[in-house]
Structure 1
Amino acid sequence: MSLPVVDIAQWLYSEPQFDLAFQPLLALSSGNIIGFEVLTRPVDRNHRPLLVESFFHEASIQGHAVAVDRLIVGQITKFLQGHPLSYPLFINLHPDSLTDPDIQSMVGSSQHGAIVIEITERGNWFGDIVEPVMQTFRNQGGTVALDDFGTGYSGLEKLVAVRPNFVKLDRSIIAQCHMYPVKRNLIASVSHMAEFLGFQLIAEGIETREELLTCIDLGVAIGQGYYFARPSAWNPGVQAPNHVIHEIQRRQNELLESSAQNLMAWDSFRLHWSLLMESLADPQATPHERLMAIMASTFRLLQPTAMTFLRATKKGLAPVFSLGHS
Structure 2
Amino acid sequence: LDFFQKDIIFILMEKCIMIKNIINDELIEIYFQPIVSIRTKKVYGFEALTRCTYKGEIIPPDKLFELAKKENLSFELDVMTRNKAIKKFSEYYKKDNNFILFLNFESTLINNTGFIEKNSKFVQTIKELEIPFINFVLEIKEDEITNTESLKKFSQFYKNLGFSIALDDFGTGSSTFDRINLIKPNIIKIDKSLFNNIENNQVNKEIVKAISKMCHNIGIRVLAEGVEEQQTVLIAMKMGINIYQGYYFSKPQAQIDDIKNSYIISKIVEIGNIFRTNTINTIKNKRKGIEEHDLLSKILIDKITDINDCNEVIKNELLLNKKIEAIYIIDEQSSKQIHDTFILGDLNVHFRPSKEGEEHYLKDYYYITLESKKGIFLSNKYISYATGSICKTFAKKFTKNNINYILCLDLVLEHK
CA 1:212 to 1:315, structure 2 compared with 1: closer, same or farther past 3 Å? closer
Q: Which amino acid aligns with 2:152?
A: E
Distance in 2, Cα, partners of 1:175 & 1:80: 30
- 1:192 aligns with 213
Give the alignment partner of residue 232 of structure 2, picking from 211, 214, 225.
211
> Deviation at 1:181?
0.5
Q: Which amino acid aligns with 1:41?
A: R
Kindly indicate whether residue 43 of structure 2 is the aligned counterpart of residue 41 of structure 1.
no
Pairs aligned (count)? 284
Question: Cα RMSD (Å) of the superposition?
Answer: 3.5
Q: Describe the SS at the equivalent of 1:155.
A: coil
Any residues of structure 2 matched to 1:238-257 within 5 Å, and which? 238-239=260-261, 240=264, 242=266, 245-252=269-276, 254-255=278-279
Give the alignment partner of residue 21 of structure 2, picking from 6, 11, 24.
11
Deviations 1:102-130 (A, max 9, x none): 23333565323222111124524343330
Distance in 1, Cα, partners of 2:177 & 2:28: 33
CA 1:7 to 1:182, structure 2 compared with 1: closer, same or farther past 3 Å? farther
Give the alignment partner of residue 307 of structure 2, picking from 305, 308, 312.
312
Distance in 2, Cα, partners of 1:315 & 1:191: 45
> Deviation at 1:147?
0.8
Any residues of structure 2 matched to 1:235-314 within 5 Å, and which? 235-237=256-258, 238-239=260-261, 240=264, 242=266, 245-252=269-276, 254-255=278-279, 304=295, 306=298, 308=301, 310=304, 311-313=306-308
CA 1:126 to 1:160, structure 2 compared with 1: closer, same or farther past 3 Å? farther
> Deviation at 1:30?
5.2
Does structure 2 conserve the Cα–Cα contact (< 8 Å) formed by 1:206 and 1:227? Answer: yes
CA 1:261 to 1:31, structure 2 compared with 1: closer, same or farther past 3 Å? farther
Q: Which amino acid aligns with 2:99?
A: Y
Does structure 2 conserve the Cα–Cα contact (< 8 Å) formed by 1:26 and 1:34? Answer: yes
- 2:74 aligns with 65
Any residues of structure 2 matched to 1:47-126 within 5 Å, and which? 49-83=58-92, 84=94, 85=96, 86-95=98-107, 96=109, 99=116, 100-107=119-126, 110-126=131-147
Identity of matched residues, %: 19
- 1:26 aligns with 36
Does structure 2 conserve the Cα–Cα contact (< 8 Å) formed by 1:121 and 1:151? Answer: no
CA 1:106 to 1:315, structure 2 compared with 1: closer, same or farther past 3 Å? closer
Distance in 1, Cα, partners of 2:143 & 2:17: 23
> Where does the alignment leave 5 or more consecutive residues of structure 2 unmatched?
1-7, 314-398, 402-416
Distance in 1, Cα, partners of 2:223 & 2:200: 20
Kindly indicate whether residue 185 of structure 2 is the aligned counterpart of residue 164 of structure 1.
yes
Does structure 1 conserve the Cα–Cα contact (< 8 Å) formed by 2:37 and 2:43? Answer: yes
Distance in 1, Cα, partners of 2:60 & 2:51: 8
> Deviation at 1:190?
0.6
Q: How high is the TM-score relative to the length of structure 2?
A: 0.59
- 2:199 aligns with 178
Does structure 2 conserve the Cα–Cα contact (< 8 Å) formed by 1:30 and 1:245? Answer: no
Distance in 1, Cα, partners of 2:220 & 2:206: 19
Distance in 2, Cα, partners of 1:187 & 1:104: 34
Kindly indicate whether residue 242 of structure 2 is the aligned counterpart of residue 232 of structure 1.
no
> Deviation at 1:15?
1.4
Distance in 2, Cα, partners of 1:314 & 1:253: 47
CA 1:259 to 1:89, structure 2 compared with 1: closer, same or farther past 3 Å? farther
> Deviation at 1:189?
0.6
Does structure 1 conserve the Cα–Cα contact (< 8 Å) formed by 2:23 and 2:80? Answer: no
Distance in 2, Cα, partners of 1:304 & 1:134: 57
Distance in 1, Cα, partners of 2:126 & 2:184: 18
Q: Which amino acid aligns with 2:170?
A: F
> Deviation at 1:313?
4.0
Q: Which has the higher contact order (CA 8 A, sep 6+)?
A: 1
Distance in 1, Cα, partners of 2:147 & 2:307: 61
> Where does the alignment leave 5 or more consecutive residues of structure 1 unmatched?
266-298, 322-326
- 1:135 aligns with 156
Q: Describe the SS at the equivalent of 2:72.
A: coil
Question: Which moves more between the two structures, 98-107 or 249-258?
Answer: 249-258
Distance in 2, Cα, partners of 1:28 & 1:93: 27
CA 1:104 to 1:8, structure 2 compared with 1: closer, same or farther past 3 Å? farther
Q: Describe the SS at the equivalent of 2:307.
A: strand
Does structure 1 conserve the Cα–Cα contact (< 8 Å) formed by 2:187 and 2:221? Answer: yes
Q: How high is the TM-score relative to the length of structure 1?
A: 0.74
